[in-house]
Homo-oligomer: A and B are copies of this chain.
Amino acid sequence: MFGFEIKKEYGKARRGVLSTPHGKINTPAFVPVATKGALKGMGFDEASALGAEIFMVNTFHFYCSKEYETVERFGGLHRFLGTDHPLMTDSGGFQVFSLGAGWGRSTGKLPHKGASSSTERKEGMVRIKEKGVVFKSPFNGDIISITPEDSIRAQEALGADIIFAFDECTSPADSYDYQKDSLERTHRWAERSLNTLKNDHQAMMGIVQGGRFEDLRKNSARYISSLPFFGFGIGGSFGESFGDSKENMYSILDLLSEELPPEKPKHLLGIGEPEDLVEAVKRGVDLFDCVIPTRFARHGTILSSHGRVNIRSSRFKDAKGPLDENCSCRVCLNYHKGYLHHLSRRREIYGIMLLMVHNLHFILHLMADVREGIEKGDLSEVERKKERFSS
């Protein structure tokens, strides 16, 4: 039922086809995020018509509310959401550490001296133990615990095609010692995650961590790839909080392209800026999930052949013509910039819906261009598009 076939390679970039029980995904692929079981302004079928072939649902929200039990009573996410498209769920780990804690953390043995202030730690405490994590729900303040076993059982209840092992997502500011300790625990959690999965209609990805440290990343890649995972997630926050994040991310990806087994799919978690997609594909990444097309739409930012543009800028008040004259999406074919400016300034739902169509179309078409570039052995056009975003 599951498979990953590499059709063509160009440098380290790979043009592949990932098979799941609900269908095939052409890679490199962008995976739109339906955080709580819906894209924020569009149905799955419309996103599919734009070129999306698989969607990511976040386990965290369904776990905190125990709604994974409800979903299970419906027969899993596909039935609950009313879709037959391939789906993936993450493990909840990322949100436990970002939403639940604001990076504030403590462990019994190893009090963490990171960038977080002591206030943050008290506010958003996450207690990490060998068994699992205890944290305060960001939704209602409940004290919630989650272990690797809990995460996998919830993901089995949700029933997505591809699921992820439970990991600790460390902060870019974490020290070497902390990262090393965390990594070893994440490796033990990876084994426990694998041991928990009891069905064969879901495939699990293991997650490589190790922060910004090359030897830890190498160690993690070797360990995780020694386990029988279907593929690999590349985790860790490379956010803007971390100064030289992009260069560091690219060099980590260079390293992992050597260390991870080439025949398995690699998913770069939470990354989706156009320039990062292109740079990561060139370093062998096959899958990406990111909320950017949606989040940008809510804030009036569009992705275009001129780079990022904020349509709320007053210079668009009287502007005729499409958002992007090089775009063929239905928004660019039908609406003036001035109208989209008006809707976005007034926070109209329909404005979010339209900007999201455009942004998702942009990203999915960029990925289609990437795939075509790999097939043709020429990524120069994609590189040129990327340049608009790198400045």
Contact = CB atoms under 8 A, between A and B. Distances in A.
B339 A82 contact: yes
A351 interface: yes
Interface stretch (A36-44, A95-103, A141-149, A278-286): A36-44
A221 interface: no
A28 interface: no
Interface in A33-76: 36-43, 61, 67, 70, 73-74
Contacts of A320: 74
A350 B38 contact: yes
Contacts of A215: none
A343 interface: yes
A123 interface: no
A227 interface: no
A58 B38 CA distance: 31
A81 B343 CA distance: 10
A82 B349 contact: no
Interface in A75-96: 79-82
A334 interface: yes
Contacts of A342: 36-37, 67, 70, 80
A121 interface: no
Interface string A331-365: 00011101100110010111111000000000000
Given A74-B320, A74-B338, A338-B70, A36 B82 contact: no
A318 interface: yes
A317 interface: yes
A41 B338 contact: no
A338 B80 contact: yes
Given A80-B339, A342-B67, A40 B349 contact: yes
Contacts of A334: 82
A81 B339 contact: yes
A318 B69 CA distance: 10
Nearest to A341: B70
A12 to B, nearest CB: 37
Nearest to A139: B346
Given A73-B318, A320-B74, A38 B338 contact: no
A148 to B, nearest CB: 26
21 contacts: A36-B343, A37-B339, A37-B342, A37-B343, A38-B343, A38-B350, A38-B351, A41-B350, A41-B353, A43-B350, A67-B342, A70-B318, A70-B338, A73-B318, A74-B320, A79-B336, A80-B336, A81-B339, A82-B334, A82-B336, A353-B353
Contacts of A81: 339
Interface in A1-49: 36-43
Instruction: Kindly name the residue among A40, A81, A317, A351 whose own CB sees the greatest number of chain B CB atoms within 10 A.
Output: A81
Interface in A138-176: none
